[in-house]
Amino acid sequence: MNKPLLIGPFAQLLPMTGLPLKGTLKDEQLRIVENGGILVSEGKILKVGVFNELKSDDVDIHHIEGNHVCLPGFVDSHTHICFGGTRARDYAYRNAGKTYLEIAKAGGGIWDTVTQTRKASQQELVEGILSRSKKHLKNGVTTIEVKSGYGLSVDEELKMLRAIKQANEDTNASLIPTCLAAHMKPKDWNKDEGYLDTIINELFPIIKTENLANRIDAFVEESAFSTEEIKPYFQKAKEMGFDITVHADQFTTGGSQVAVDFDAVSADHLEASTEKEIQLLAKSNTIATALPGASIGLGCAYTPARKILDAGGALSIASDHNPGSAPMGDLLTQASILGTFEKLSNTEVLAGITFRAAAALRLEDRGKLETGAVADFIIFPTDNYQEITYHQGQLKPSDVWKKGINVCK
Residue 68 sits in the same domain as residue 81: no
What domain range includes position 142? 75-359
Q: Global pTM?
A: 0.97
Q: What is the dihedral of CA 81, 150, 272, 356, to 10 degrees?
A: -40
Alpha carbon dihedral 160, 43, 289, 225, in 10-degree steps, equals 20
Rounded Cα distance, 217 and 319, in Å: 16
What per-residue confidence (pLDDT) applies to 99?
A: 82
Distance between CA 395 and CA 384 in Å, rounded? 12
Please tell me the total count of domains within the chain: 2
CATH code, 117: 3.20.20.140
Q: What is the b/e burial string over 118-145, where b = at least 16 CB atoms within 10 angstroms of the residue's CB?
A: bebeeeebbebbbebbeebbebbbbbbb
- Are residue 63 and residue 86 in the same domain, yes or no? no
Q: Is residue 340 part of a domain?
A: yes
167 vs 370: CA distance, rounded Å: 28
pLDDT of residue 28: 97
Residue 91, in any domain of the structure = yes
Q: In whole angstroms, what is the distance from residue 237 CA to residue 91 CA?
A: 34
On whether both 16 and 122 belong to a single domain, the answer is no
Q: Are 128 and 87 in a shared domain? A: yes
Claim to verify: residue 63 and residue 101 sit in the same structural domain: no
Per-residue pLDDT reduced to its tens digit, 335-357: 999 999 999 999 999 999 999 99
Q: What is the CATH number of the domain that holds 379?
A: 2.30.40.10
Do 267 and 351 belong to one domain?
Answer: yes
Same domain, 143 and 235: yes
Has residue 192 been placed in a domain?
yes
Distances (CA, A) of 191 to 179, 186, 194, 228, 299: 21, 11, 7, 21, 37
User: Do 261 and 334 sit in the same domain of this protein?
Assistant: yes
Tell me the per-residue pLDDT of 255-276, one tens digit each, with 9 for 90 and over: 999 999 999 999 999 999 999 9
Residue 364 maps to a domain? no
pLDDT score recorded for residue 220:
98
Can you tell me the distance from the alpha carbon of 218 to that of 67, in angstroms, rounded to the nearest whole number? 45
In a domain, 85, yes or no: yes
* Inside any domain, residue 396: yes
Of 376, 271, 274, 361, nearest to 316 by C-alpha is: 361
Tens-digit pLDDT profile for residues 198-217: 999 999 999 999 999 999 99
User: Do both 252 and 280 map to the same domain?
Assistant: yes
Intra-chain end-to-end CA distance of the chain, in Å: 26
Tell me the C-alpha distance between 141 and 159, whole Å: 25
Same domain for 380 and 313, yes or no, is no
Same domain, 335 and 295: yes
Residue 194 lies in a domain: yes
Instruction: Give pLDDT, residue 223.
Output: 86
Contact status, residue 341 vs residue 305, Cβ threshold 8 Å: no
Cα separation of 398 and 382, whole Å? 10
Looking at residue 190, what is its pLDDT?
82
Same-domain check for residues 238 and 312: yes
Contact (Cβ atoms closer than 8 angstroms) between residue 277 and residue 256: yes
Last residue of a domain, one of 320, 339, 359: 359
Question: Tell me, what's the pLDDT at 256?
Answer: 98
Q: List the pLDDT tens digit at each of the 409 positions of the chain.
A: 689 999 999 999 999 999 999 999 999 999 999 999 999 999 999 999 999 999 999 999 999 999 999 999 999 999 999 999 999 999 999 999 998 778 888 888 899 999 999 999 999 999 999 999 999 999 999 999 999 999 999 999 999 999 999 999 999 999 999 999 999 999 999 876 799 999 999 999 999 999 999 999 999 998 899 999 999 999 999 999 999 999 999 999 999 999 999 999 999 999 999 999 999 999 999 999 999 999 999 999 999 999 999 999 999 999 999 999 999 999 999 999 999 999 999 999 999 999 999 999 999 999 999 999 999 999 999 999 999 999 999 999 999 999 999 998 7
Please check whether residue 226 lies inside any domain of the structure.
Answer: yes
Q: Are 270 and 251 in contact (CB under 8 A)?
A: no
